[in-house]
């Protein structure tokens, strides 16, 4: 059906947006890419009395790969971020993760900030933020501002720790750096029934291997679709740290995610199938991350 | 909320009409501007039948409100055709290839595919079959089984590269 009527507000500045959001209260929704919100409005699952459109606030659209981090304004389009020169080389996990988001047209409008604020448990951006220990800046009324680290952002289904009058403004993800001491590889692997569908289960994985002996100096694993939010599989990470990234070690780590997930049964998959898939996608992502890190080690030795 | 004026460029020409904020760009193009080539399939962003180009990027026009498109440039399927010196219609190479390769049956999904393919070829003029399938994965077709659509896009790509 068609969306219900709403008041349309198109602020030109962040202050204007925050003021209107505060004024209109619980019944207002912020509009970023609209690729999640507008379908909900079309089904009338969401019927906000006011939409505050952030797309005219120019200060929110930046996206750049810096020395140590990926910095994105909340309204940075996913396709714009994916096309940043050098992103795939700096962090394959981010480039691959974005490529798994829906389809081209979705990524042309969908935004980094919108995905994080929407907090779909099957969305890729929350996993990337968690895996990389990223943080977001948030603006409130009257110039209030705070920074929220990834681990404090996602509370439950479609719920973040943002207050109703707060707007997510910037996202920063620390990028791994291959140094003289170690080489890094990462990957994002999903299982979905159709290309571009929401993940039934997905894993973002990153491994740092020491140049000296190829043991794991740092392991990051974040899973989607298998709990009420994206989740860091810290027990599995701990198992990997300090040891060789052998097939056996990766097998063990993949099995270990079992204790950190709580998958539901729904029309797409049973909880048992999701539980199985969680281990499969973790194992595949870890293998890709390991192989890419090993290749970087090899290239470093030759170079 | 009351209707407000929306001014935008569509297929190279300035257009304007009134719309409630809740009117989608798809409905605006069809009902206010009479451009019914843009089709409504699922109206929630899954099927791609409503795909148009906004500022040269493919978008789901069912997931945009017309008021958001104010000041932007839209290309619909109607904008693909050009006219020869004698005024006769000249099909875009993609359209010609779709015709030759039987890449449409009922034609309902076709406008969306044409615009998605136009963006695909603009960014990747020499795609592989795999990248064509990947690039068009956001468009659903219930008639053709997709093979002829893929063939048509590859054919159009090869012709555009010919001197």
Q: What is the pLDDT of residue A300?
A: 82
B45:A79 CB<8 A: no
Confidence of residue B163 (pLDDT cuts 50, 70, 90): low
Q: What is the pLDDT of residues B94-148, one digit of tens each?
A: 999 999 999 999 999 999 999 999 999 999 999 999 999 999 999 999 999 999 9
Confidence of residue A303 (pLDDT cuts 50, 70, 90): low
Q: What is the pLDDT of residue A25?
A: 80
Q: What is the pLDDT of residue B99?
A: 97
Q: Which residues of B touch A35 (CB under 8 A)?
A: 45, 60, 63
Q: What are phi and psi of A118, to 5 degrees?
A: -75, -35
Q: Round to whole Å and give the CA distance between A108 and A78.
A: 6
Confirm or reject contact between A145 and chain B (CB < 8 A): no
Confirm or reject contact between A192 and chain B (CB < 8 A): no
Neighbours of A146 (CB within 10 A): 12
Q: What is the pLDDT of residues A232-242, one digit of tens each?
A: 999 999 999 99
Q: Break chain B down into helix, strand, coil percent, rounded to 5.
A: 40, 20, 45
Tokens of B27: 């409905």
The residue in chain B having the minimum alpha-carbon distance to the alpha carbon of residue A105 is B59
The percentage of chain A sitting over the pLDDT mark of 90, rounded to a whole number, equals 92
Q: What is the pLDDT of residues A184-206, one digit of tens each?
A: 999 999 999 988 899 999 999 99
Provide the mean pLDDT of chain A: 96
Distances (CA, A) of B156 to A151, A172, B117, B152: 48, 41, 10, 6
Helix runs in chain A, H state only: 14-24, 37-42, 78-82, 87-90, 92-99, 104-109, 112-118, 124-131, 234-240, 247-256, 271-302
Single pTM value for the model = 0.96
Q: Round to whole Å and give the CA distance between B111 and B34.
A: 15
B45:A104 CB<8 A: no
B60:A106 CB<8 A: yes
Q: Can you tell me whether residue A191 is helix, strand or coil?
A: strand
The set of residues, in sequence order, having a beta carbon less than 8 Å from that of A55 and lying 6+ positions away, is A10, A31, A32, A75, B68
What's the ipTM? 0.96
pLDDT reading at A143 higher than 80: yes
Q: Can you tell me whether residue A266 is helix, strand or coil?
A: coil
């Amino acid at each position: 059906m068609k969306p219900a009527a709403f008041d349309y507000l198109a602020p030109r500045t962040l202050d204007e947006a925050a003021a209107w959001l505060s004024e209109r209260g619980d019944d207002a929704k912020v509009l970023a890419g609209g690729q999640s919100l507008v379908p909900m409005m079309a089904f009338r699952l969401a019927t906000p009395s006011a939409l505050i459109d952030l797309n005219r606030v120019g200060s929110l659209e930046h996206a750049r790969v810096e020395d140590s981090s990926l910095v994105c304004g909340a309204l940075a389009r996913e396709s714009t971020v994916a096309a940043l020169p050098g992103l795939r080389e700096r962090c394959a996990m981010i480039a691959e993760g974005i490529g798994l988001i829906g389809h081209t047209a979705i990524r042309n409008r969908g935004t980094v900030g919108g995905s994080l604020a929407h907090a779909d448990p099957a969305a890729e951006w929350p996993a990337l933020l968690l895996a990389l220990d990223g943080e977001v800046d948030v603006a409130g009324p009257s110039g209030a501002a705070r920074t929220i680290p990834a681990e404090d952002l996602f509370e439950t289904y479609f719920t973040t720790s943002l207050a109703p009058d707060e707007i997510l403004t910037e996202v920063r993800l620390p990028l791994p750096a291959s140094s003289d001491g170690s080489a890094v590889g990462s990957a994002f692997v999903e299982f979905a029934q159709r290309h571009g569908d929401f993940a039934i289960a997905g894993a973002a994985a990153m491994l740092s291997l020491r140049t000296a002996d190829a043991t794991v100096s740092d392991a990051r694993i974040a899973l989607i679709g298998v709990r009420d939010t994206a989740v860091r599989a810290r027990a599995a990470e701990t198992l990997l740290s300090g040891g060789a990234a052998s097939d056996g070690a990766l097998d063990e780590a993949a099995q270990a995610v079992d204790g950190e997930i709580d998958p539901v049964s729904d029309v797409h998959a049973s909880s048992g199938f999701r539980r199985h898939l969680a281990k499969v996608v973790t194992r595949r992502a870890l293998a890709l991350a390991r192989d890419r890190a090993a290749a970087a080690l090899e290239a470093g030795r030759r170079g | 909320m009351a209707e407000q004026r929306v001014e935008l460029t569509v297929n190279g020409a300035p257009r304007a009409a009134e719309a409630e904020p809740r009117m989608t760009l798809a409905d605006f193009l069809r009902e206010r501007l009479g451009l019914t080539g843009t089709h409504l399939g699922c109206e929630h962003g899954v099927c791609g039948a409503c795909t148009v180009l906004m500022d040269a990027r493919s978008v789901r026009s069912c997931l945009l409100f017309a008021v958001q498109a104010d000041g932007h440039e839209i290309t619909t399927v109607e904008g693909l055709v050009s006219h020869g010196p004698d005024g006769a219609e000249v099909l875009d190479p993609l359209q010609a290839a779709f015709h030759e390769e039987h890449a449409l049956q009922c034609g309902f999904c076709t406008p969306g595919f044409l615009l998605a393919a136009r963006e695909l070829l603009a960014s990747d003029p020499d795609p592989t079959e795999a990248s064509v399938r990947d690039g068009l994965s956001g468009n659903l077709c219930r008639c053709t089984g997709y093979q002829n659509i893929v063939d048509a896009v590859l054919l159009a790509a090869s012709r555009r590269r010919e001197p």
